[in-house]
Amino acid sequence: ATIGRYDIYAELGSGGMASVFLALDLALDRKVAIKVLAPNLASAPDNVTRFRREAKVAAALDHPNIIGILAVGEDPSLAFFVMKYVEGSTLDSVIAAEGAQSIPFARSVLATTARALHYAHQRGVIHRDVKPANLMLDLEGRLIITDFGIAKMEDAQGLTITGSVIGTPHYMCPEQFNGLPITG
């Protein structure tokens, strides 16, 4: 399939709101990842707004350990955005395949994640879904934080109801789990 200037090759993964595909940017001859909002959710304007906000939030963060956003789709019938393609594995798949990791590895992951999140927090962005499935390790071992789908800009009006809980329960901070305001 082709979307604009992108040839779609394969599905890399999917979640509750979207699927991510490996594609080739025909204009620049490079691999990219394209995140596409699930068709059953695209009919609700709030979902499309939240999805586009994810792209804008992540695109505003220029950090080597945060996924790079390259473009937002212009196709009116399909909500998508284009990200840098990270060849590698998610941290949860590394742990599933290899089991417990060494203490130096865990320290490195925690320190790198903390530096990248600190950078985001300084710019008013709270990720709200930090978990091993959203941490990628590229082929050189660099860590990249992905999936800003439920990120919150401190000064932006939310699309969730005050007091509602959004995120992955096993990885939420207590404030988030209890529907209270959260900060960096």
Catalytic (active-site) positions: 129
Residue 15 main-chain phi, psi, to 5 deg? -135, -160
What does the alpha-carbon distance between residue 61 and residue 91 come to, in Å, rounded to a whole number? 21
Half-sphere exposure of 8 (CA within 13 A, CB side): 16
Distances (CA, A) of 27 to 5, 18, 32, 137, 173: 7, 25, 12, 27, 42
Query: How far is residue 84 CA from its own chain's centroid?
Result: 11
What does the alpha-carbon distance between residue 22 and residue 9 come to, in Å, rounded to a whole number? 6
Number of Cβ within 10 Å of residue 141's Cβ equals: 10
Number of H helices, E strands in the chain: 4, 11
